[in-house]
Amino acid sequence: MKKIKITLFAFLSLSLTIVSCDKDFEETNTDPNNSSVISSDLLLSYAQLNQMNTVYGMQRGGGDMGSCWAQQMSKVQYNDENRYVVRSGVIDDIWFELYTTSVAEANGMYDLALEAGNTNQQGIALVMKAVGFQTLTDLFGPIPFTESLNPDITKPAYDDEATVYEGILTLLTDAANLLSNGTGEVATSDLYYQGNTSKWLKLANSLKFRALMRISSTRDVSSELQALINGGKMMTTNSDGAQIQYLSAPDDANPIYKTIIDGLRPEYKLGGLMVETLQFLNDDRLSVYASVNASGVYLGKPAGYGRQTTLPNEGLGYTYANISGLGDFYLNPELPGVLMSYSQLSFLKAEAANENLITGGITAALNYYREGIAASFKWNGVDSTSYLAQDGLNFTTQADAREKIATQEWIALFGQGFEAWTEWRRTKIPYLEPALESTLGQIPSRLSYSTDDPSLNGENYEAASQSIGGDLLTSSLFWQ
């Protein structure tokens, strides 16, 4: 279906105008038998679903420009994005959807909850707003933030990433404060937690921990991380993870299923390094992540080819039959879409302890690391007992710990394309070679801006681009 393009800033202005009711609307036009008050929770599930579909969409970006760039997956055909040749229309859609659903809907939800005096809904709205803005700045770099939701400003300035991140941290702190002492019901239509505000509080603090770790190379975050550890209001089990349970009907199914099975796009296969790493570690998650090829073995494909070397390629063995596809678990239409997992939080805590950003040192790091592995195995329906018994899995030095923690996080983030690529961009672990026959010679470090921006907000776009060395896929972000 063809999408009619609307400028982002005009759309946001319209959204805010719709949300803000006309105070002088004549009483004679109000049906006395029906409430004229819009409930804030009506916006929540829409924002949640669109956020998840945007980051999980295989062709929209989470697959082609997430899982493939993190080399968890590769493609046996239609390989342009895998070689870093991106479609500007896809990036435009990502920019548009994140602003108009994740950010604008959350902002509208907050305003309605404030008017209703529902502080729990206010806190949830701030979490969703933080999620939207963090996704945007992690993908693009400097973005409109402080001026982005002002309907009187049609050409908002782009804030630098440090400013955006401090704003995200404030949103999550304010959300946690509201949820700690909140009042007001949360609808069971909440797709993450069905209205459980105690889990929303854990999510707010866990997301704050993740955001602090992302910028830990840019400033001292140790006291803030330790405060979150001391507070104890973070995820403690897989049931605390923020995820959407997709349904079996194709329209409501996980985007991975919708693309590969319902959309008949089986070119998405396992990345060579993912298969080799899991085999080297004797990791039983391999049989969950992947299916065997036509010869009954697991075989991945390296990133790239398709520029000089035609794909599929029988001579190289890179064909639909020869390369392992995704396993049945990940092709299930009801596969949950994950915003943040307990497993990822555990690995981030392990890293923080290993880098002496929180107390406990290498002993605590090892415990958190093993908890993260166990949680990932359990989420994937695999027993971790024998795996965790392997001596080679443990570590006794900081350098070894750094490598193993980041590698296990990369493994555990399988299927969460943009998050896997983002964490790899931060840690650069495991070591990845650029895609073969790529156009850049290096793995992209960001997405380029929407193609609408130079004409609609040219002066601010130019300033933002210059601040990072140009609007290039290879321009570095401040936390990299």
CATH code at 155? 1.25.40.390
Domain total in the chain = 1
Residue with tokens 């309605």: 112
Cα distances (angstroms) measured from residue 301 to each of 28, 267, 276, 326, 479:
67, 11, 10, 12, 30
Is the pLDDT confidence value at 34 over 70? no
Per-residue pLDDT, 37: 55
d(CA 112, CA 382): 43
Q: From CA 49, how far away is CA 97, in angstroms rounded?
A: 11
Please give the Cα distance from 88 to 90 (Å, whole number).
5
Residue 318 domain-assigned? no
User: Hey, what are 264's tokens?
Assistant: 């008949």
Pairing between β-strand 268-270 and β-strand 73-75 as defined by DSSP bridges: antiparallel
pLDDT at 22 over 70: no
Give me the pLDDT at residue 5, please.
38
Question: Of the given ranges (22-26, 204-208, 300-304), which has the lowest mean pLDDT?
Answer: 22-26
Residues 6 or more apart whose CB falls under 8 angstroms from that of 312 comprise 76, 77, 318, 319, 320
Mean pLDDT along residues 127-135: 98
Q: So what's the pLDDT on residue 32?
A: 40
* 172 found inside a domain: yes
Across 128-146, average pLDDT: 98
Alpha helices in 264-397 (DSSP H): 272-280, 286-289, 342-354, 361-379, 385-388
pLDDT on residue 183 = 92
Per-residue pLDDT of 193-252, as tens digits, reads 999 999 999 999 999 999 999 999 999 999 999 999 999 999 999 999 999 999 999 999
Residue 129 in any domain: the answer is yes
- Compute the C-alpha angle 67/70/75, nearest 5°: 55
Residues 422-452: tens digit of each pLDDT: 999 999 999 999 999 998 989 999 999 999 9
Q: What is the pLDDT of residue 38?
A: 67
Ordered alpha helix ranges (H), 117-221: 119-140, 161-180, 197-214
Confidence of residue 277 (pLDDT cuts 50, 70, 90): very high
Residue 9 pLDDT level (bands cut at 50, 70, 90): very low
Quick one: pLDDT at residue 29? 42
What's the chain's average pLDDT? 91
Kindly state whether residue 46 falls inside one of the protein's structural domains.
Answer: yes
Determine, yes or no, domain membership for 259. no
Task: Show the tokens assigned to 397.
Answer: 């030095």
- Determine, yes or no, domain membership for 325: no
Its domain, for residue 401, covers 8-19+38-77+85-249+334-467
pLDDT tens for 39-49 read 787 899 999 99
**What average pLDDT does range 27-37 have in this prediction?**
44
pLDDT, mean of residues 150-172: 96
Nearest to 238 by CA among 371, 350, 339, 342: 342
pLDDT tens, position by position, 446-476:
999 999 999 999 999 999 999 999 999 999 9
Rg of the chain over Cα atoms, rounded to whole angstroms, equals: 22
Q: Are 355 and 226 in contact (CB under 8 A)?
A: no
Asked if residue 199 belongs to a domain, the reply is yes
Interval 352-360 mean pLDDT? 98
Determine the pLDDT at residue 39: 75
151 cis-preceded (ω within 30 degrees of 0): no
pLDDT of residue 41: 79
Q: Please check the confidence at residue 3 and state whether its pLDDT lies above 80.
A: no
Establish if 293 belongs to a structural domain. Answer: no
Percent of the chain whose predicted confidence (pLDDT) is above 90 = 87
**Stated pTM of the model:** 0.92
Question: Are the CB atoms for 62 and 417 separated by under 8 Å?
Answer: yes
